[in-house]
Every structure is written in structure tokens, then in C-alpha cells.
Amino acid sequence: APGMKKPGSLPFEHDPIVEEVVPPGVVTAKRILQDESDPQHQETKRFFLCLTICHDAQVEHKGPGEPLFSGSSPDEVAFLEASHHVGMCLHSRKAASGN
């Protein structure tokens, strides 16, 4: 029927800058992160900062703006990809030095 979505389909928005379909959660998070007056700005920023730095994953770069994340857990990789999509990205990681 007209106007009906397929079962299991999500409403997505089109991002003309990157020419890709963007999930609505990414659009909302970006909007909150760009508006420092938003009441959820600081909490959202801390949340994505934690996702970006609290893990053991590694990052390689396929090209400018194209990180390739790898880790022992698919969850770690998914967290890093989510952070990257909202504009917070891990660029490199140095091995911790032992004492």
C-alpha cells in the first residue's frame, strides 16, 4: 500500500554531503553535538568520547576520512564506527608502555 514501509525497515535520512543514507540516531546525535545550548549536549559528548577512547581496538586509514577499525570484539568496532559517524573519531593509538 502507498506510504507503508516494509516490515523491519527503518526511517533513514539522506545526507547530501556524503551521499549516503544516514540512520536517524546519527542525525539526532550530530544535531545535539553541534548545538552547545542543547540540554543533552554535554552528556552526549561524554558518551561518544567514552565510546571513542575506552576500548582496545586499533585503527588504520584507508584514505582521508576512511578509518578501518579492528578489534577482538565486534562491539568495540561498532562503537568506534558509531562515534566516527557522529564526528568523533579515533585517529591513532599508541601502545601503552610498561613499567
Residue 4 in this model has a pLDDT that exceeds 90: no
pLDDT tens digit sequence for 10-44: 455 555 555 567 788 899 999 999 999 999 999 99
Q: Tell which residue, 94, 45, 99, 53, has the closest CA to residue 76.
A: 53
Q: What is the mean pLDDT of the chain?
A: 78
Q: What are phi and psi of 15, to 5 degrees?
A: -100, 105
The whole-model pTM stands at 0.67
Q: Please, are residues 70 and 60 in contact by the beta-carbon 8 Å criterion?
A: yes
Domain ranges of the chain: 14-86
The C-alpha atoms of residue 41 and residue 67 are separated, in whole angstroms, by 25
